[in-house]
Amino acid sequence: MGREVRAINDARVVTPDGILEGASIVLEDGRISGITARAERSGEAIDAAGRYVLPGMVDLHCDAIEKQLAPRPGVEVPEELAFMEMDRLFAGCGVTTGFHGVSIMAGRSRGVERGRRLCALVSRLAGEGLVRHELHLRCELPQEESVRAVEEVLGRGFARLVSVMDHTPGQGQFRDLEWFRRYWSGDGADEAQISAALAEAERSEYTIALDRVGRIASAAKKHGATLASHDDDTVERVEVLAGHGVDISEFPVNAASARRARELGHAVCMGAPNALRGVSSGGNLSALEAVEAGLVDALVSDYHPPSMLQAAFKLAREDVLPLPESVALVTGGPARAAGLSDRGGIARGAKADLIIVGGRAGIPTVTHTIVNGESRHAAG
C-alpha cells in the first residue's frame, strides 16, 4: 500500500521517558527493532531533519464519519466516499488507529438502521484504509431498539469498544436544557421534535436502565469488547456502572465524577477540542482543567481529529504537562485504555505506527504518517 520505511534519521524522538535528540529509529517487519544514536543509511530511510517523531495517535472516539456521511441535515453522500474521506483525514492528522464512534439510536439525524449500515461499512472497508480502523459502538440505553441492535452488532464481532449512554434532556450531557435545545436544533430537529423530547423528559424519572446495562456488559465481555460509560454526571452513577464492568469513563461532566472514576481504576477520556479551546461546548467540565488536576488518561477527537495533535502540543507549550506526558494522552493512554499493548509508544517490538511532526505557520503539522512500517501519508 505504501513505501516501506526501514529507518527514520535525525529525529527528536518522543518516548514516555523523555525526548531523544538526533536519534534514529530502525524499523523491520512492521515493528520498531531499535532506537540508536547513529544514522541508519538506507534507501528506505526518511530524514526527519530534526523534527519530532511521535507514536501514531490512537483515537478512541471519533463521530466525524457521521458528518462526512451527512454534511448537511437531510443530505447524504455515498457511504464509501464518507469512509475514504475519514481515512484520509485520520492519516493527515496523524491518527494511525481510529475508532469510529457510531451511534445506534433513533431520532434526529441519526437512526438505528443507518447506524447498522455504518458498522457494516467500517467492518467491510477497514482493510482498505491508509490507517487502522476500529469500531466504537454507542448504545442509547433508553431505547430498547438501540440495545437490541448493539447486541446484534457485537455478536458479529465488529466492535472492539462499546459505550452506554443516555441523552435524555435534564441530565448527563444535557443538564442545561437551553444547550439541549441549541444542540438538537443544529442537528436538524425542528421545534415540534424538540418540544416533544422535553415533554417526554418531564414525564420520565431519570434512572439508569440497569437491566440494559447488564445486557450490553454481558455481550461486550462475551465478544471481547471494552465497555465504556458516557457523560457520567454523578458519583453514584460511576459506582453503579463500575459494578457492571465499565473500564472507561468518557466525558464525565464534572470533576467529582471524573475523580471517582479514576479512583475505581477507570480510564478517563476527555475531548481534545475541549482541551484545545479550554472550555466545554456544552458548559460541562473543562478538559484543560481536568488535565491540570491530573484526572485525564486520554484525549479523543470526539468530532474533530485535528484537535488531538494540537491539544497535545498546547499542553506542553503552556507548561501544563511536559511534552512526553501530553503526547501520551493521545497515544499510550488511549492505547492502554482499549487494551492495545502493541502500540502507543516508541519502544523495541512495538508496532511501527509513527508520525513525523513539523510546523507550518506556527502550527504543529504532520509531515509523514507511517503505519505498519509503510509510509501512508507525506506532506513535505
Mean pLDDT, the chain, as a whole number? 89
% helix / strand / coil in the chain, to the nearest 5?
Answer: 35, 30, 35
- The residue among 129, 130, 118, 131 whose CA lies nearest residue 158 is 118
pLDDT 10s digits, 262-277: 999 999 999 999 999 9
Distance from C-alpha of 83 to C-alpha of 87, rounded to nearest angstrom: 6
pLDDT 10s digits, 109-148: 568 898 999 999 999 999 999 999 999 999 988 888 999 9
Maximal CA-CA distance, the chain: 70
The grid coordinates of residue 226 equal 471494552
**Residue 185 pLDDT greater than 90, yes or no:** no
CA 66, 71, 77, 78: dihedral to nearest 10 degrees?
Answer: -30
The predicted structure's pLDDT at residue 182: 59
For 89-104, b/e burial (b = at least 16 CB within 10 A) is bbbbbbbbbbbbbbbb
Return the amino acid letter for 298. Answer: A
Contact 366, 376 (CB under 8 A): no
What crossing angle do the helices spanning 144-155 and 210-222 adopt, rounded to 10°? 10
What pTM did the predictor assign?
A: 0.89
Give the phi and the psi of residue 178 in degrees, each rounded to 5: -70, -35
**Residue 8 pLDDT greater than 90, yes or no:** yes
Going by pLDDT thresholds of 50, 70 and 90, the confidence category of residue 260 is very high
